[in-house]
A and B are shown apart, each in its own frame.
Chain A
Amino acid sequence: MPTTLENWNPGKAENRHPEMTYEEKEKLFLEVKEDPRYEDFLYGCYECGICVSSCPSARFYDYSPRVIAQAMAREDVERIYDIISEDIWNCAQCFSCVRCPRGNNPGGLVTLLREVAVRNGLQETRDVLQGYSRVIYKVMLKGNQVSPDMLQPDFFPDWGPWVAQFSANMPVWRKAIPVDTLRGVTDAAWRTERKTLLELYTIWFETGNMDIIKEIDEGLYDLLAEVMQEELEDQ
């Protein structure tokens, strides 16, 4: 039966988060919808399930890129709040879901939803990203984010006894790399000029990125802002 105005039944989700008003939830959805990328990422949903069949997270979690595309297409504000407060953090951002024959990009929608969740400092988001602040700290202060000194047995015990080897031999092994920008560097992935870092700090402040960090972790913001401001003032 073709969908008409009369039989349209989008199956709106129930209010599972009464602690937040409908208006607040709608405001979050509208922030996503107003993003210029939104129109590029959502064209409707056939409900064919191709995105789900190729999604790693759908195999592991109670997670579905199809539900995200459907909820967004139906503008189901309650369901979208369910998604924004939890589901989005299960996505692996592999973009296997862009196999969608309709041209949807559920992974892209998740990116927008995450950005809005972070910008609004949702409590669930703060909780999820708590363990990730070390990486945010690294990328913002060092210009790259996976430094060799992260390889410590305490952080990666499940990576086997080699992590202890990497860690113990780090200073000398890093000197035994012929690449000029890597040789001897242990606290960053590669050696970056100070001027380059200052330009990166300028980007963080000018684009409002620092305000975003403030929303999710004020302590981290204070730490980063102090170091960056000092460096920029010394320039």
Chain B
Amino acid sequence: MTTTVEEILERKSHAVIRDPEVAPIVDLREELFELEARGEVIVQRVPENHVEVTTKFGRKKKIPIDHTWHHKSCGQCGHIPGYTSSIFWLHRQFDLDYLDPKDQTSCTGWNYYASGASNATAQAAVMSRNFAAAYETGYFPMIHCGTSYGHYKEVREQLIHHKGLRDEVRRVLDKMGKPLVIPEELVHYSEWIHVMRKRIAEKQTVDMSAITATVHPACHYYKIVVEDAIYDPEIYGGQRMATVTATLQALGMNVADYSTWYDCCGFGFRHILVQRDFTRSFANLRKIEVMKNEVNPDVTVTHDTGCVTTLDKSQFAAKAHDRKVGIPVLSDAQVSALAMGAHPFRVVQMHWHSTDWRPFMDKLGVDWQKYWDEFQGDLELIRSGQKAGITWEDADKPVVNVA
């Protein structure tokens, strides 16, 4: 039965109470720990070695430094592998313990947002299965993907607030002999880079002070469950998320503002695969061209797989239409690895990017041709069967030094 008119009017009449002195502080952990005390869930604690940061409304969020279980990303690993290898490379440079698991699936959030061909229980069960797998190893999950991170925050909230959902997920997990585990914090890898930024800058071998960069903040990082994103009064007066911007500033870049910073990149989940006219228009007209016209950056930096893909790949067609485009797109992990002297191809894997990154490398003073030739040598050895592939032994050592 539909609602009566009286009920609708009653709902519309609810006042929204606003008090500027009281920020809407939400700490889901309190409810989470209550659920644990009742024996409903296991809460995986953030490891001892962590740093506390401030979130949008002032809550302290714990970001683990080591002993992390890397929840990988479909798009990073599939289309922009240098994103993932840069994250791991950074961990290795600081000799930090991490786990690159095979017992992990996609969060399946991309598919769900795109097609709706799933349901709340399935989504929550996939998340809980992955988190149980992390818990079994003792390592704390760190989420590489903006979509997964936002999606998991959404699902965590649903799991906490809906007993029926919890019960159903527990029933499914029982079939696999897994407990219902929810981490104390959901942590995005760019938050790890954020808290590591000064240590990254200390090991910097490439001077980035000549670079002007723009930042595209990933929607699913700070728009879904807004209270979990990092903010800092030093960054845009605390009015915008601090992640990425603070990292680039620590690396010495000039971070330039532009008017459409809040806009989505145009990814659209299903659009980027089957309706790219939408994606291209938005990526170019609302983001790339606006950046170009207003501040003409050398690079734009983001912290999500979908955003890098959308902004990078969309520029080719726009160029054909004489649009004012041509900004290389990288993740903060890739930029940080480049700053610390990572091999541009063995580690940062620049060759998977479409928009011309060479002018950016030239401006950094990096002789990319030299490293490309070296990489071609690696590929020849692989082609001839003399080498099975590039390993960390080949890639660990920082090689670029133009500070």
How far, in whole Å, are A159 and B313 apart by their CA atoms in the complex? 5
* Residue from A3, A103, A148, A200 having most chain B Cβ neighbours under 10 A: A200
Asked whether A11 is an interface residue with its Cβ less than 8 Å from the other chain, the reply is: no
Task: Give every chain A residue within 8 A of B154 (Cβ-Cβ).
Answer: 108
Asked whether B118 is an interface residue with its Cβ less than 8 Å from the other chain, the reply is: yes
Stretch at the interface among B52-60, B121-129, B230-238, B360-368: B121-129
Q: Give, as a whole number of angstroms, the nearest-CB distance from A74 to chain B.
A: 7
Q: Give, as a whole number of angstroms, the nearest-CB distance from B206 to chain A.
A: 20
Interface size class on chain B is: 35 or more
**Are A143's CB and B391's CB within 8 A?**
no
**Are A144's CB and B105's CB within 8 A?**
yes
**Are B75's CB and A189's CB within 8 A?**
yes
Task: Give every chain B residue within 8 A of A206 (Cβ-Cβ).
Answer: 125, 171-172, 175
**Are A180's CB and B2's CB within 8 A?**
no
Asked whether B74 is an interface residue with its Cβ less than 8 Å from the other chain, the reply is: yes
Residue of B nearest to A206 (CB): B172
Given contacts A60-B281, A202-B176, contact A93 B113 (CB under 8 A): yes
Task: Give every chain B residue within 8 A of A118 (Cβ-Cβ).
Answer: 115-117
Given contacts A114-B116, A135-B273, contact A56 B266 (CB under 8 A): yes
Q: Give, as a whole number of angstroms, the nearest-CB distance from A31 to chain B.
A: 12
Task: Give every chain A residue within 8 A of B280 (Cβ-Cβ).
Answer: 158
How far, in whole Å, are A148 and B345 apart by their CA atoms in the complex? 17
Q: Give, as a whole number of angstroms, the nearest-CB distance from B148 to chain A.
A: 11
Q: How many A-B residue contacts, CB cutoff 8 Å? A: 295
**A94 touches which one: B102, B223, B345 (CB < 8 A)?**
B223
From 136 to 169 in chain B, residues with beta carbon under 8 angstroms from any chain A beta carbon are 150, 154, 157-158, 161-162, 164-165, 168
From 55 to 113 in chain A, residues with beta carbon under 8 angstroms from any chain B beta carbon are 56-57, 59-61, 73-75, 77, 88-89, 92-96, 98, 101-103, 108, 111, 113
Task: Give every chain A residue within 8 A of B118 (Cβ-Cβ).
Answer: 115, 209, 212
How far, in whole Å, are A190 and B263 apart by their CA atoms in the complex? 30
Given contacts A146-B74, A150-B78, contact A92 B267 (CB under 8 A): yes
Q: Give, as a whole number of angstroms, the nearest-CB distance from A65 to chain B.
A: 13
Residue of A nearest to B12 (CB): A44
**B78 touches which one: A8, A26, A147 (CB < 8 A)?**
A147
Asked whether B256 is an interface residue with its Cβ less than 8 Å from the other chain, the reply is: no
How far, in whole Å, are A35 and B110 apart by their CA atoms in the complex? 21
Residue of B nearest to A102 (CB): B16
Asked whether B259 is an interface residue with its Cβ less than 8 Å from the other chain, the reply is: no
**Are B105's CB and A196's CB within 8 A?**
yes
Residue of B nearest to A160 (CB): B316
Task: Give every chain A residue within 8 A of B382 (Cβ-Cβ).
Answer: 172, 175-176
Task: Give every chain A residue within 8 A of B79 (Cβ-Cβ).
Answer: 146, 148, 150-151
Task: Give every chain B residue within 8 A of A136 (Cβ-Cβ).
Answer: 111, 115, 117
Given contacts A36-B162, A166-B352, contact A159 B115 (CB under 8 A): no
How far, in whole Å, are A4 and B13 apart by their CA atoms in the complex? 10
**B119 touches which one: A4, A146, A207 (CB < 8 A)?**
A207
Given contacts A96-B262, A173-B351, contact A145 B110 (CB under 8 A): yes
**Are A176's CB and B100's CB within 8 A?**
no
Asked whether B392 is an interface residue with its Cβ less than 8 Å from the other chain, the reply is: yes
Q: Give, as a whole number of angstroms, the nearest-CB distance from B151 to chain A.
A: 10
Given contacts A3-B12, A183-B390, contact A35 B176 (CB under 8 A): no
**Are B172's CB and A202's CB within 8 A?**
yes
Given contacts A144-B74, A207-B119, contact A183 B389 (CB under 8 A): yes
**Are A207's CB and B121's CB within 8 A?**
yes
Stretch at the interface among B3-11, B37-45, B61-69, B242-250: B3-11
**Are B106's CB and A189's CB within 8 A?**
yes
Task: Give every chain B residue within 8 A of A75 (Cβ-Cβ).
Answer: 2-3, 8
**Are B104's CB and A196's CB within 8 A?**
yes
Asked whether B108 is an interface residue with its Cβ less than 8 Å from the other chain, the reply is: yes
**3 nearest A-B residue pairs (beta carbon):** A114-B116, A160-B316, A146-B78
Residues of B near any A CB (own CB < 8 A): 1-3, 5-6, 8-9, 11-12, 14, 16, 72-79, 81, 84-85, 88-89, 100-106, 108, 110-122, 125-126, 129, 133, 150, 154, 157-158, 161-162, 164-165, 168, 171-172, 175-176, 178, 219-220, 223-224, 226, 262-264, 266-271, 273-274, 276, 278, 280-282, 286, 313, 316-317, 345-347, 349, 351-354, 375, 378-379, 382-383, 388-392, 394-395
A-B pairs with beta carbons under 8 Å apart, 13 shown:
A59-B282, A60-B282, A94-B267, A94-B268, A143-B106, A146-B74, A158-B316, A173-B352, A176-B389, A178-B395, A181-B102, A189-B106, A196-B103
- Beyond A132-B114, A159-B313, A182-B84, 20 additional contacts (C-beta under 8 Å) are A29-B2, A40-B157, A54-B263, A92-B269, A94-B267, A95-B224, A118-B115, A129-B270, A144-B106, A145-B74, A146-B74, A147-B78, A162-B316, A169-B379, A172-B382, A178-B390, A178-B394, A206-B125, A207-B121, A209-B119
Residues of A near any B CB (own CB < 8 A): 3-5, 8, 10, 26, 29-30, 35-37, 40, 43-44, 54, 56-57, 59-61, 73-75, 77, 88-89, 92-96, 98, 101-103, 108, 111, 113-115, 117-119, 125, 129, 131-132, 135-136, 139, 143-148, 150-151, 156, 158-160, 162-163, 165-166, 169, 172-184, 188-193, 195-197, 199-200, 202-204, 206-209, 212-213, 216
